[in-house]
């Protein structure tokens, strides 16, 4: 019968699943590797295939750039804020130093002040005792934005330097002979900071409050 002929046997199908192609006539079937296309390597429908990306997707790149931009913006703002705070602190220190240096010098000069020669809001001239018999005349004067001691500059950038004169009852007086102590309202400024204080100078040797 025809089913038993060799030609029919060579064309007999030996399916692998439902996708196994028939062997070509003349092939033994052993030397030819037969695989189901559904199971072949690289086939899109193969369940054993794993993704092997070779780079970043566009969305990943955009998200990365946005995150890096946010981090950079926050860092720059933080550094700018820190620099601003440091600049303010430096300016405040300079104003405080300018004020305290001038006040310290005025305290030393007025410790031995005995009598007042000129008593105005912006100028105080007094006689200072040096030793037992020597006397020196000193003048504190606001000239423009500078405070002067005689011809020497004590402070620059002065916004306020006002003298107020009191008698021994703590009342304001215009009588130079009755002056017991002098109050100074002092303020120094620069472009970013200001420093101010009120200090009293007493016209008695060795006494300062």
Whether 97 is covered by a domain: the verdict is yes
Inter-CA distances, 195 with 84, 96, 129, 149, Å: 19, 5, 31, 20
Per residue in 162-173, pLDDT (tens digit) is 999 998 888 998
- Average pLDDT score over the chain: 77
Kindly tell me if the per-residue pLDDT of 2 is higher than 50.
no
Kindly tell me if the per-residue pLDDT of 61 is higher than 80.
yes
Whether 75 is covered by a domain: the verdict is no
Question: Closest Cα partner for 158 from 121, 187, 120, 184?
Answer: 187
Per residue in 175-208, pLDDT (tens digit) is 888 888 899 999 999 888 899 999 998 876 444 4
Whether 143 is covered by a domain: the verdict is yes
Look at residue 4 in the predicted model and tell me its pLDDT.
Answer: 53
Q: What is the pTM of this model?
A: 0.59
Are 153 and 106 in contact by the 8 Å Cβ rule? The answer is no
Range of the domain at 172: 86-202
Look at residue 25 in the predicted model and tell me its pLDDT.
Answer: 53
Q: Looking at the structure, do residues 113 and 31 belong to the same domain, yes or no?
A: no
Kindly tell me if the per-residue pLDDT of 99 is higher than 70.
yes
Total number of domains in the chain: 2
What does the alpha-carbon distance between residue 71 and residue 76 come to, in Å, rounded to a whole number? 9
Q: Looking at the structure, do residues 114 and 191 belong to the same domain, yes or no?
A: yes
Whether 186 is covered by a domain: the verdict is yes
């Amino acid at each position: 019968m025809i089913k038993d002929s060799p030609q029919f046997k060579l064309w007999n199908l030996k399916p692998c699943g439902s996708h196994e192609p028939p062997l070509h006539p003349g092939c033994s079937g052993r030397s030819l590797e037969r695989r189901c296309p559904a199971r072949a390597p690289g086939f899109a429908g193969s369940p054993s295939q794993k993704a092997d990306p070779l780079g970043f997707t566009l969305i990943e790149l955009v998200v990365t750039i946005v995150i890096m931009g946010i981090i950079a913006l926050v860092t720059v703002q933080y550094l700018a804020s820190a620099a601003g705070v440091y600049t303010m602190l430096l300016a405040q220190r300079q104003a405080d130093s300018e004020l305290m240096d001038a006040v310290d010098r005025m305290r030393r000069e007025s410790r031995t002040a005995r009598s007042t020669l000129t008593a105005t809001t912006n100028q105080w001239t007094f006689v200072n005792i040096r030793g037992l018999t020597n006397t020196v005349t000193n003048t504190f004067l606001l000239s423009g934005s500078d405070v002067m001691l005689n011809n020497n500059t004590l402070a620059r950038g002065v916004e306020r330097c006002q003298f107020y004169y009191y008698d021994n009852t703590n009342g304001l007086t215009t009588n130079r002979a009755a002056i017991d102590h002098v109050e100074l309202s002092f303020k120094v400024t620069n472009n970013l900071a200001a420093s101010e204080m009120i200090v009293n100078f007493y016209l008695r040797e060795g006494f300062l409050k």
